[in-house]
Each structure stands twice: as C-alpha cells, then as structure tokens.
A and B are shown apart, each in its own frame.
Chain A
Amino acid sequence: MAYLLVIGTRKGLFTARSDDRKRWEVDGPHRLDPVDFANMMGSYAVGIDPHTRRILVGSESSHFGPSVWFSDDLGATWQEPKEQPIAFPPDTDTSFTRVWQFAFTDKPGVVYAGVEPHGLFRSTDGGESYEIVRALYDHPHRPEWMPGAGGAAIHTILPGRVTANGTDPHAMTVAMSTGGVYRTVDDGASWTPVNKGIRAGFQPDEYPEFNQCVHKVAVASDGVFFLQNHHGVYRTEDPAAGWTSIADGLPSDFGFAMVAHPHVPGTVLNFPVISQEVHLPADHKLRAFRTDDGGGSWRSVSAGLPTDPYYGIVLRDAACTDGADVPGFYFGTRSGDVFATTDESAEWQQVVGHLPDVLCVRAVEV
C-alpha cells in the first residue's frame, strides 16, 4: 500500500509519497500551468475525491486571480477548466476570491466548494464547473457576516451531517468565519444558524444567534461534532441543541485546526495557538493535543516534534487524516514543516521542511 500527501502552500503545490508513512519522497512545486505564473500561486484548498482519486486544487494568483485545477493521475499532470469554474452570478456584484475547502459527497461527481467571499458552490461533474447554492448566498444574515482575519469565507462543509444520529443526503452543516455554523435539512433551500453556546467574545453580545468566528468543525466517527472557535473548543451531538465547552485541559482555547479520528469515537487532534492577538503556538512549542474521551481530557501527543522554541502555527486546513484502516495523521505549519504519524507509531516523522507557509494538507491511500 502507498500513501499520497498533497501539500498546498503559499507559493505552490507539493506532493509526498510513501510506502510506510515514515520515509517520504517529496515532489514540487508542481507545474499546474505550462507558464510559470501558476506555479507560484497560493494553493489554499486541496481535495481528493474518494470515488475517483481526482485531486482538486483551489489556487490563487495574486495577479491573475483564482481558479481550480484538477489531476486525474495523482498529480502527474494537471488541467484547468476552459471556463472560469467558480463565478458569482452577475446580479450579486460579488467576485470570487478563492476556494477555502472542497467537500465530497456519497454521490459520485457531486462536490461542494466553500469559497471567499462567503459562498457555497455545488458541482455535479467532479469539480470542473459549479453553481452557487443561492439560498445561502441570499440568507438575510449575510449583511452581518464579516471577514475574519483570514477573509470572509465558508471553510467547513459537512455533507449529510446535521446530528450525530446518522447521515441524511438532504442535510448539510457548514461553518464560516465570521457567521458561525449553519445547517440545512432541505437540500440547501433554507439555512438555520446552530450556534447556541458558542462564544463571540469580540462583540458586546457574547452569545449571539449567529456571527461567531468559528475556525473549524470536525465530525468524529460516531457523528459527534467537534469545533475550534476563535477562543473556545466545543462539542455537540446536535448543533441545533447547543454546544458544550471542552477546552479544559488544553494550554489554550484558541486555534484553527481540528482533526477527528476516522474510526475511533471521541478521538480528536487539536493544535493550540496562544490567542487572538498572538498567533503563535501555545508556549512557543509545536505540539499536537489529543483527546480520546470526547474532550473530557487532553494530552500532548508530540513525540518526534521539534523541542526548540517554534513559531509556526497550524492553519485550519493544514491538518488531516488519510482515513486508512490504521490511520495516518498529518499537519503542516506556517514555518513550512510537514509532519506525519500513524496510530501505531505514536511518533511524528518529518515529511519535509522549509517549504513556504503550509496552507492545507490532504492525504489518501493509493
């Protein structure tokens, strides 16, 4: 069995391959475009289709704008749609800035893209062309959604998930910064905020109905939701019923990334950051924290990581699992280092160092 790790950075796309998830062969920056301008683009979003292994990359050129590239041969060659794949309708007077997340569904070919500015787009052709989910764009709360420090974006898409009680093909949960968590149960025709209990300490009403600055939501194997907020770490089995703090035991309740174990309920990784004012690793130490009891307790799982002072944080999509039977976990930092471990190893190995800022990582068994 082999493993592919796709790494999006601020200056291009890299890949790494391994047979044992200990020794990695790194390639990149990849030539997405035959002309060099695309190769230095920020690769903000990567998705790997579980049905086809097609790789989608949402990249943005600071000069020539955003687009979506795709590879059907695990990164050997790349294509771009002939027409702009993601575009806001003319009547919105809104311009597409970048993709923040791709999400795949149980239905082959159906892919969602969460974008900046706040937008959710749906593709039925495997990610080559998209149509806006209009009801979310037209939501009456939209004028009050604000950009977080990273931009005004829908960054989390959880197709089929609105409670821990199974999946529903007509349901979906999304999260945005700012805006908070919203859900639909009618195929996106209507959207309801589900933020009860999530704090918004940056405004006078600290527990509003919506407009929280949620950073990431992950769903564990038993369907339980885990959320990293702009200060605050939460869990719930039913977002509509409210969220419960699980921050006790972490060195900080601020952070961006949250990764759930693909098979073991209650097991989640978190990467604490000092605060909203200081985006550096908690205690200036590069550490991952893990709970195995649904957030009841946390422990550092940082063997193999640098022990010197460290200043590169893990961004919201820069951590992932490969979903394998014995799962691998991966993360990259703004210092350009990428690490991998497995449940068996319990020790991090460096995949590569000194890349540009790592914006996102995605991994798959191939």
Chain B
Amino acid sequence: MGATVFLPQALQADSGGVAKVDIPLGDGGTLPLSGVLDELASRHPRLNQRIRDEQGRLRRFVNVYVDSDECRALSGLDTPVTNGSEVRVMPSVAGG
C-alpha cells in the first residue's frame, strides 16, 4: 500500500514520461507531504526543482492536492499522506 502522485503533462518529461508514481509509505502507512515529495525527488531529481525551490518551499504557482484539498488549506508540506491517498501536482491558473 501507499499513495499515488499524479503529475501534469508539463512535468512528465521529468518523470520518465509517466503520469503517476506510486510512493510506498513504509510500515506506518503515513508520511508528511514533504516526505512524499522527497521520495518523488529521489526517483526523478529534476521534478523537485519544478515543484519546490532549493529551500524546500512549494513554488508559488504550483498547487499540490492531497485527495480533494490543496495542501495550503491543510497543513502545507506537513499534511499527512496516508495509504490510498491521491496526491495531485497541478499548475495553478496563473500567468499571462
């Protein structure tokens, strides 16, 4: 068991072309969102710089949903991710 991270098409060049990545959550069955993203980064290093800056902060116009809620409305990168959770990385509606 674990969680699944879904990636937008714009980031799939940095994920080896895959749209989703299964992340094991270990014996406890839970990880903070930052830990899930760390695991994602260890597999696909360049993904990390697209989603977070070098200080580990989420980029301003990248939204990360844990199940149905954007993480900033929860506990941010400390939001717990549990077995069966779906994590969706999505570019925000921004730009011009």
Contacts and interface: CB of A to CB of B under 8 A. Distances in A.
A64 B10 CA distance: 9
Interface string A82-105: 111001101001111000000000
Given A83-B45, A93-B55, A94-B55, A64 B50 contact: yes
Instruction: Kindly state the interface size class of chain A when it binds its partner.
Output: 20 to 34
Nearest to B9: A35
Interface in A44-87: 61-65, 67, 80, 82-84, 87
B68 interface: no
Interface in B45-85: 45-46, 48-51, 53-55, 57, 59, 61-62
Contacts of B48: 84
Nearest to B14: A35
B12 interface: yes
A37 interface: yes
Nearest to A66: B49
Please tell me the size bucket of the interface on B.
20 to 34
Given A62-B61, A65-B50, A84-B54, A35 B94 contact: no
A179 B10 CA distance: 37
A326 B83 CA distance: 68
Contacts of A143: none
A33 B53 CA distance: 19
A64 B62 contact: yes
A9 to B, nearest CB: 14
24 contacts: A33-B13, A34-B13, A35-B9, A36-B10, A37-B10, A37-B11, A37-B91, A62-B94, A63-B10, A63-B61, A63-B62, A64-B51, A64-B62, A65-B49, A80-B46, A83-B45, A84-B46, A84-B48, A84-B54, A87-B54, A88-B55, A95-B54, A95-B57, A96-B53
Interface of B: 9-13, 45-46, 48-51, 53-55, 57, 59, 61-62, 91-92, 94-95
